[in-house]
Amino acid sequence: MLIGTAYSVLIRLELSGPGVQFIADNQLYNSIITSHAILMIFFMVKKKQINTFSVTSVKKFHTEVKIGNENNQKDPLNSKHKYTKVLVEDPYNNRDIIARVAKKQKGVYVWGTLDSKNMYVGHSINLYNRICSYFMPSILKTKERRVLRYLNKYGFTNLKLTIYIMEDSASLEQIVELEQHFIDSLNPNLNVDLVASSSGYHEPMSQEMREQLRKQRGTPIFVYDANDFTLLYVFDSKNYMYNTINIHHKTFNDCIDYGKLYLDTFFFSLDQIEESASTNLLTLDEIKSLVSKKREIYEVKHPASKSILAEFKDDSRLNKEFSSLGSLAKELKGDRAVIREYLKGTKSGYYRGK
C-alpha cells in the first residue's frame, strides 16, 4: 500500500498546480495513473464492484481512471481495445487539467451534457489540440456541424468531457474502431455521421487531394485559417513543413501540443477538422507567400522582438542587422536556442568560430 500512497501523492502533486508540470514526461505520468488504478483494483476493490477510482479534485474537476471495459450501461461493454478513461467536469474552466492528461495522447473523446441526453463522439491522434479547437470562437461560429450549433447556443457550462486515452502503440485504425464502438453503444444525437472514419474528409476536398493523402507515408499537417477554419494547405510531413515555411520545430510543437496559433493566423492540426466544411487549398507558392506576409505583419504587431546586429570577425562587409532572433537563425541556418546562449553571454566567443 505504500507504493499506492506514493502514486497518489505524485498524482495529487501534478494536478495541484495547473500550468506547472512537475513530471516532465507525459507518458510517465500516464503510466503512474494507470499503475495507481491497478493497485486500487487488487487491494481496495472487490471483484464485483465497479472499478472506479477518484484521483483528486481541483477547480470542480473530478477524474476517474478505469482499466479495460466499463461496468455499467452508460459506459459501453466489450470493447476489445485498452484505454484509460478520464472524466473532466466543467471542461472549459479545467483546460489546464485537460492539457495535463491529454497532451500528446491519442484516443476518443465524448462531449456530453450532465443529464447525458446530448452527446458527441470524436477521435484524434492528438487529443489536447483537437479538444482545444472546440473552445475557439472562430470554429464555433461556423456552425457547420450539429455539435457546433449546440455548443454555440448553450456553451460549456452544462457539459462534461470524457476522454478515452489509448496506448501509444495504438494505430489510427484501432482508434477509429474504438470511436465506432462508442458511437454504436451511446448513439450520440449530436453526431450527424454515425460511421467513424479515419479520413475525416468533407465534400469540398477534391478527389486529387484525397488520393494525395492516401499516398503519404508521414503524418500530414493540416493548416487552417484560424479566422474561419478554412483548410488552406496539407503538408506531407513535419520535416517538409519545417523546410518549406521556415518554422522552428519548438514553435511547431507549441502549436500542436497547446493549440497555439502560428503568427496569430494559422491553426495546425494532425487531424482534419471535420467540423470545418470550408476548403480553399492553396498552391505551395501561395502558402509560402501567405506565411511570409503574415510573418511580416506579426513582427510589426509584436515589437518585443529586438533587432540583432551580426558582426563577422574577418569581414565587416558581411555585417548585417536582423529584425529578430528568428530571422537571424534562418539566415545562418542555425538553432535559435544555441544562438540565444551567445547573445546572453552564456557561451563566449564567435558563433561557429565566425
As a whole number, mean pLDDT of residues 223-233 equals: 90
Instruction: For residues 237 and 322, state if they share a domain.
Output: no
Specify if 270 maps to a domain.
yes
* pLDDT score for 57: 35
Q: Containing domain of residue 135, as a range?
A: 83-186
* pLDDT score for 343: 74
Which backbone phi and psi does 235 adopt, to 5 degrees? -85, 145
Q: Please report, for residues 94, 107, 177, 273, the alpha-carbon distance to residue 172 in angstroms, rounded to integers and kept in the order given.
A: 27, 9, 9, 15
Q: Can you give the CATH number for the domain in which 111 is found?
A: 3.40.1440.10
Read off the pLDDT band of 245 (50, 70, 90): very high
* pLDDT score for 68: 40
- Tell me the pLDDT tens digit for each residue of 142-176: 766 788 889 989 989 899 999 999 999 999 899 99
Instruction: For residues 2 and 22, state if they share a domain.
Output: yes
- Tell me the pLDDT tens digit for each residue of 59-89: 333 344 443 444 333 445 556 788 889 999 9
CA dist 79 and 136 (Å) reads 32
**7: how many CB neighbours lie within 10 A of its CB?**
21
Burial (0-12, 13-18, 19+ Cβ within 10 Å), 178: buried
- Tell me the pLDDT tens digit for each residue of 203-226: 444 555 555 554 455 688 999 998
Higher per-residue pLDDT: 59 or 322: 322
Higher per-residue pLDDT: 34 or 41: 34
Specify if 354 maps to a domain.
no
Instruction: For residues 139 and 161, state if they share a domain.
Output: yes
CA dist 158 and 215 (Å) reads 42
Tell me the β-bridge partners of 122: 109
Tell me the β-bridge partners of 88: 161
Read off the pLDDT band of 195 (50, 70, 90): confident
In the chain, how many domains are there? 4
CA dist 207 and 225 (Å) reads 22
Contacts of 79 (CB under 8 A, 6+ apart): 69, 178, 181
- Tell me the pLDDT tens digit for each residue of 90-147: 999 898 889 889 988 999 999 999 999 999 999 999 999 999 889 888 777 776 678 8
Specify if 54 maps to a domain.
no
As a whole number, mean pLDDT of residues 215-238 equals: 84
* pLDDT score for 177: 93
Which backbone phi and psi does 284 adopt, to 5 degrees? -60, -45
Specify if 26 maps to a domain.
yes
DSSP state for residue 84 in the 8-state scheme: E
Higher per-residue pLDDT: 2 or 310: 310
Instruction: For residues 291 and 269, state if they share a domain.
Output: yes
- Tell me the pLDDT tens digit for each residue of 258-316: 888 999 999 999 988 877 767 889 999 999 999 999 988 887 666 555 667 777 767 66
